[in-house]
A and B are shown apart, each in its own frame.
Chain A
Amino acid sequence: MEVLTVLVDIAFVALGVLAVLSGAAVFVVDSMARATYALAVSFVAVGAQVLFLQQSYVGVVIILMMVMEMAVMAVYMVMFMGMNPALMPMSMVHSNRTAVATAVLTFLLLAAGILVVDWPARRGSPPPDVTEALGEALMGPQMLVMAVISPVMVATIVAGVVLAAPRTRYDRFGDDLRQRPPDDPQPGGVGR
């Protein structure tokens, strides 16, 4: 049992080191794809660390969302970024000195905070099913808030897309909205 605890500790620390190193690699490598996937590795390592903290649901969801996000991000970065960084060596670094100074200062501040703060001792013990407890904590008393916020968020997304879309329904269906089939530069799969 003692050996197992030590092994778990070593694995946890190794994941932390991996997360930091691959995070740093984002600013070292000279290719957009490598930078993106270095960031993905960093996130996956953090997700695995969360697994070690017994928060399996949150940990797995971090891995899932971050890999998906990075896959999509790589595509958009390669497609749309100016100076086409995908097809020539590029760097993710800019404002080098300011960035380094800010990073070092922030690190020192946070590290000092960790060491100086008088952390409280642990009270109670984790519940048997952490996922369920998390769900209760999020959705139990706040259910009303969630139920109100969700439609507002969806409406915001829809409104944002509508405002951002260069073509309106008048472009698709004509001035009296009667034109069938619609005039789409990209025909859809369901024949609207």
Chain B
Amino acid sequence: MGCRRRRRARSPGPGRSRSRRGAVRALRVGGWCRGRSRPLGEASRLLRQRRRTTVQADTLLWRTGGAGLLVAAALMLAVVPLGRWTVADLAVGVVWFNAMDVMVWALVWLVGWGANSAHALVGGYRFLAHGLGYELPLMFALVAPAIAAGSLNVGAVAAAQDGLWFAAWMPVAFLVYLLGVAGFSVWGPFAPALGTDVAGGVRAELSGVDRLVLETGRYALLAAGAAFAVPMFLGGGAGPLLPDWAWTLVKTLAVLALLVWARRRLPALRPDLFMEIGWLVLLPAALVQDLLVAVVTVWRS
């Protein structure tokens, strides 16, 4: 807002001409400035917005679904080691992460259901149809690093990548994993559940702070998925000069940047068509990857 006002004050009056380059620069500066302040502006707009109510909404389930995404993301992050520290160093951290990403199935569908609105429910069904397509490939993609490390502990998987990152010799698993992260964050190609063709889908009736919480949850899930990729595929905190925790953060940000960059560059995956891609292409690919990893692991030991 402040930016726009300043630009307006600076803009030349009706009688004065302005060079083309100056106009372009003003546009670019203004655009960058507006882009930077957009998250804050959007957040404050949603915080002030009045809550929309619908007839016969199941408010308990609706709110549970919306707020639950953030909780699931936090519980995912709990098993990711940051340097020497891990919030919960579970022996079965990989399965824990998987359980939390399955929790997202229930939560997104509940958001779609709770509003008692057709468009929102269609969005919820779309998400579950996507889920049926991406979940099994994602599970088998997570199996590959666990087999190679011989452990379900996230720290042990990170430590097992001495010298060669798992992303380097299990690229299929890594790609399927990234697709899965986009899937459970309802992100990019998996956004039809929030599509404009169904009035915003799952979030059609969400407004105000509830919508802010849902969006925050989605972004948090994306970040949690990026953070979990680091110990699983990208060598954890290993790296020169910087300490472990800093490398973990740098790599997390790199993966996150990749996911954000890919957001609009991949076509939307229609739930009905993606089902077949998931089961006939991704699942066999992930299984073959697992077989290769298992053979290499047995051969090495």
Which residues on A are within 8 Å of B, measured CB to CB?
31, 33-34, 37, 40, 56-57, 60-61, 63-64, 67-68, 70-72, 74-75, 129, 131, 186-190, 192
Are B109 and A56 closer than 8 Å at their CB atoms? no
Docked CA distance A168–B102 (Å):
33
Are B106 and A31 closer than 8 Å at their CB atoms? no
- Which chain B residues (85-127) contact chain A, with CB distance < 8 Å? 90-92, 95-96, 98-99, 102-103, 105-106, 109-110, 113, 125
Which residues on B are within 8 Å of A, measured CB to CB?
58, 60-61, 90-92, 95-96, 98-99, 102-103, 105-106, 109-110, 113, 125, 128, 131-132, 135, 152, 270, 272-277, 280-281
Residues of A within 8 A of B90 (CB): 56, 60
Are B110 and A37 closer than 8 Å at their CB atoms? yes
Residues of B within 8 A of A70 (CB): 106
A188, chain B: closest CB distance, angstroms: 4
Chain A's closest residue to B281 (CB) is A190
Residues of B within 8 A of A72 (CB): 128, 132
Chain A's closest residue to B91 (CB) is A56
Chain B's closest residue to A130 (CB) is B91
A76, chain B: closest CB distance, angstroms: 10
User: Given the interface contacts A34-B61, A188-B273, A188-B276, does A61 sit within 8 Å of B95 by beta carbon?
Assistant: yes
Are B106 and A34 closer than 8 Å at their CB atoms? no
Selected A-B contacts with CB under 8 Å, 17 pairs: A34-B58, A57-B152, A60-B95, A61-B95, A63-B99, A67-B99, A67-B103, A67-B106, A68-B102, A68-B135, A71-B106, A71-B109, A71-B128, A72-B128, A131-B91, A189-B272, A192-B276
B148, chain A: closest CB distance, angstroms: 17
Residues of A within 8 A of B103 (CB): 67
Residues of A within 8 A of B98 (CB): 64
Are B276 and A189 closer than 8 Å at their CB atoms? yes
Are B105 and A57 closer than 8 Å at their CB atoms? no
Residues of B within 8 A of A190 (CB): 276-277, 280-281
Are A68 and B92 closer than 8 Å at their CB atoms? no
B39, chain A: closest CB distance, angstroms: 31
Residues of A within 8 A of B135 (CB): 68
Docked CA distance A56–B277 (Å):
33
User: Given the interface contacts A33-B110, A67-B99, A71-B128, does A131 sit within 8 Å of B152 by beta carbon?
Assistant: yes
Are A189 and B92 closer than 8 Å at their CB atoms? no
Residues of B within 8 A of A129 (CB): 91
Are B58 and A64 closer than 8 Å at their CB atoms? no
Residues of A within 8 A of B152 (CB): 57, 131
Are B92 and A57 closer than 8 Å at their CB atoms? yes
B298, chain A: closest CB distance, angstroms: 15
Docked CA distance A113–B103 (Å):
36
8 closest A-B pairs (Cβ-Cβ)? Answer: A189-B273, A188-B276, A64-B99, A189-B276, A71-B105, A189-B277, A60-B95, A71-B106
Are A68 and B273 closer than 8 Å at their CB atoms? no
Docked CA distance A188–B271 (Å):
10
Chain A's closest residue to B116 (CB) is A87
User: Given the interface contacts A37-B110, A75-B128, does A68 sit within 8 Å of B276 by beta carbon?
Assistant: no
Residues of A within 8 A of B58 (CB): 31, 33-34
Residues of A within 8 A of B275 (CB): 188-189
B105's contact among A31, A61, A67, by CB below 8 Å, is which?
A67
B113's contact among A33, A61, A64, A188, by CB below 8 Å, is which?
A33
